[in-house]
Each structure stands twice: as structure tokens, then as C-alpha cells.
Amino acid sequence: MSRRRGAPVLRPARLGPPDIIRLGGTGLRTRPLRVFLSALGIAIGVAAMVAVVGISSSSRAEVDRELDSLGTNMLRVAPGQGTDGQKKPLPRDTVPMVQRIGPVEQVAATGAVKDASVYRNEHVPPGRTSSVEVAAAGPDLLATVGGRIHNGRWLRSATEQYPAVVLGAQAARRLDVHTPGTRLWLGGKWFSLVGVLKPVPLAPEIDQSALVGWRAAQTYLGFDGHPSTVYVRARDDRVKTVRDVLASTANPANPGEVLVSRPSDALAAREATESALTGLLLGLGGVALLVGGVGVGNTMVISVLERRPEIGLRRSLGATSGQIRGQFVAEALLLSALGGLGGTVLGTAITAGYAYLRDWPTEVPMWAAGAGMGVTLLIGALAGLYPAVRAGRLAPTQALAGT
């Protein structure tokens, strides 16, 4: 049939992005409970991912804060193994020899008192030491390792020659002794507790020790005077130089029997271990997000089946297949966006709460929130694509008939 001249040409109405978004929102409002449950699945996955990244970033920020406050310029010298496989003691004059190194700013040492144990009283059976080691220490130790007093005071030059003891943080907990003035049975003699330390991140071995004055250990406990660990603070720009000469300076006769380490490296290694765990948890969060995407796809498929009469009516009134597809894709994207936004807020709140409980700085990278929303929208688009194509293929008569 030929078209008459001057007859109007009918074209389907064009829907702009705002119209499509409005249609998608209308479809979601008609099923609030189903929408909430589907969005919740997405939100759980996004919250898991954001919280894992946020907690990991907050942990790294705490490590950086610790290193800034404690410094990365401390080196640790300890006895190494000789050719016979036995640990060789450091020379008695290790500390004064290390002090001669130009860039060295502070030196302090502890010495293991091998034949002494500490107990709450003389009635505790021998051997039940609660894994607390006894060590000799000098007045400069606390400042060198960056330690702080929790209760009481530190050993001073005037008191280190008397039977006084300072407990590390873990040692105090194991012995259940926290009050200065308490008497402890140490090496078969009574020692008075003068202080309890806070945890020392760069020297965790001190946390498990009962520390007595260097001269007191020699006088009362038979200490041989050999340092077991030497802590060295060097200039920040000369740490590597000092590290290279430290072994030969500490034990010139046998430098190969000396172990030199940098305690801040242990904190960095701990951070790397936590990063590996973060990768595993991110994988679990991704699985949860994928499950949420399957929930979105299921919701959209059911929606197409339930709304066939609506689709048929819109098609009979002139809506094109592309417009129908756009409506259902928009619904899936809006549903995913709701879940993504809720999950981002929830994950940030979890991170802030956990950081507050651990006294960490709260840090949630912006890329984590952006990546969470981006992945959510991508999954939502893929989940809604098949139902949208299926809805667009429905013929008006078939949809209106409900078959």
C-alpha cells in the first residue's frame, strides 16, 4: 500500500535517561521487600570488601604511626651461632666498642641471667616461672628502645645496684603483679617491684622479661656480664652504614658469630603478612558480591514473569523493544546502586568502629569505595541484561495473553 502524500509519519516516543531512570524506580517501588532483600545481598558483599580494605589500611596507618613515633633507626645485635652450632656470647665490652662508631647516637644492652627465675613468692614450686626471663639492664635501655612506663618508675643509676625489678607488660600479666612495692622471689632472694612497662613494639622480648639493674644482677644473681642483646640507635641517614660495620665492631675476633637485625623490618614483615590475609578476605568479599549479583538476576527474571501484562500494554501503546530493555536494565542498575551505596556506608562504619576499639586511625581509601560501586554496577548490569533482553523480545499479544 502506498503512503498518501502529506500523511503524518508515526515514530515511537523517545525516552531520555531521566525517563528511563524514573521508569526503573517505579518498578522497584512496587516490590519493596524483594528489592530490600536483593539489595541486602549486594550490600553485604560490598561492605565486606570495603571493611577488609579499610581495616587493612587502618592497620598499615597504625604501623606507620608506630614507626614514626618509635623510629626506624634502631638496630639489634644478638649472639649468633659458631661453627659448632652453639650460640657464642658477645664480649663484655661490646657496648663501649659500639659507642665508638661515629653515627651511633644511643647504645643499651640487656643480659640474660641464666640461673635465676622469678616467682610471686617463695612457696611457688620451682619451674613454674610463667615463661618470664630474668635479664640485666642499664638505665639507658628504656630511652634507647622507645619504651614507656605503665606504672611506677624505671631503674635509675642510683637504684640499679639494689635488689629492684621492673616487669615487662606480658611478664606482669603472667605473674599477675602490677603494683609497685610488691615483693618478688627472684633468684632465691627478695626483690622489690619498682615499675611495670607498657608493651615495647620494637623489642617484644623485653615484654616477657623481669629486668634488674646491671650491677645488682652481678652482685645478687651471679650475672657474668656478657650482654645478650644490644640495642643501637644510629643517625637516620647512616643506618645502613652502621649496620654494615656493627658485627665486626661488636665482636672483632668473630664477626660471623654476630646477628644484626633491624626491628622495624619485623613490623614491615607483619604488615606484608596482613596484606596477604587481606587478599584472601577480599576474595571472600568478592564471592559474597557475586552471590548478591545472582540475587539481582533472580529478582529481575521473576519481575519479567510477573509483569508480562505491563510489558504487553506498553508494547501495544508504542514502546519499542529497546525501551523495554532499557527499563529493566535501569531497574537492575538502580537495585545494585542501592546495595552498593548501603554496603559502602556499612563497610565504612565497620572500619571506623573496629579502628576505634583498637585505638587506630580510621582510613578508608577512596578507591575502595569507588571500586566497590563500580564492580556493583557492572554486576548489576550483567545480572539484568538477560531478563531485559527477554522482556524486550516479548510480543505485545503474547505478553497481554500472559503466555
Give the span between the Cα atoms of 46 and 296, in whole angstroms. Answer: 14
Instruction: Say if CB 146 and CB 263 are below 8 A apart.
Output: no
Predicted local confidence at residue 2, as pLDDT: 47
Burial of 27 (0-12, 13-18, 19+ CB in 10 A): buried
- pLDDT higher for 312 or 100? 100
Instruction: Tell me the domain boundaries of the chain.
Output: 17-67+269-401, 74-262
DSSP SS3 for 259? strand
What separation in angstroms does the CA of 101 have from each of 233, 246, 247, 264, 351? 11, 8, 12, 21, 46
Which distant-in-sequence residues (6+ apart) come within 8 Å of 35 by Cβ?
28, 299, 335, 338
Predicted local confidence at residue 20, as pLDDT: 66
Give the span between the Cα atoms of 386 and 190, in whole angstroms. Answer: 81
Which distant-in-sequence residues (6+ apart) come within 8 Å of 115 by Cβ?
187, 221, 222
pLDDT reading at 195 higher than 50: yes
pLDDT reading at 277 higher than 60: no
Give the span between the Cα atoms of 201 and 230, in whole angstroms. Answer: 16
Range of weakest confidence among 80-94, 139-153, 380-394? 380-394
pLDDT in tens, 182-193: 999 999 999 999
pLDDT reading at 267 higher than 60: no
Residue 210's pLDDT band (cuts 50, 70, 90): very high
pLDDT in tens, 328-361: 788 888 888 888 898 889 989 998 998 899 888 8
pLDDT in tens, 59-69: 777 777 776 66
Instruction: Say if CB 337 and CB 373 are below 8 A apart.
Output: yes
Q: Closest by alpha carbon to 50, among 376, 382, 380?
A: 376
**pTM assigned to the model:** 0.59
Instruction: Say if CB 38 and CB 219 are below 8 A apart.
Output: no
What separation in angstroms does the CA of 86 have from each of 82, 89, 252? 6, 10, 18
pLDDT in tens, 379-398: 778 877 777 777 767 666 66
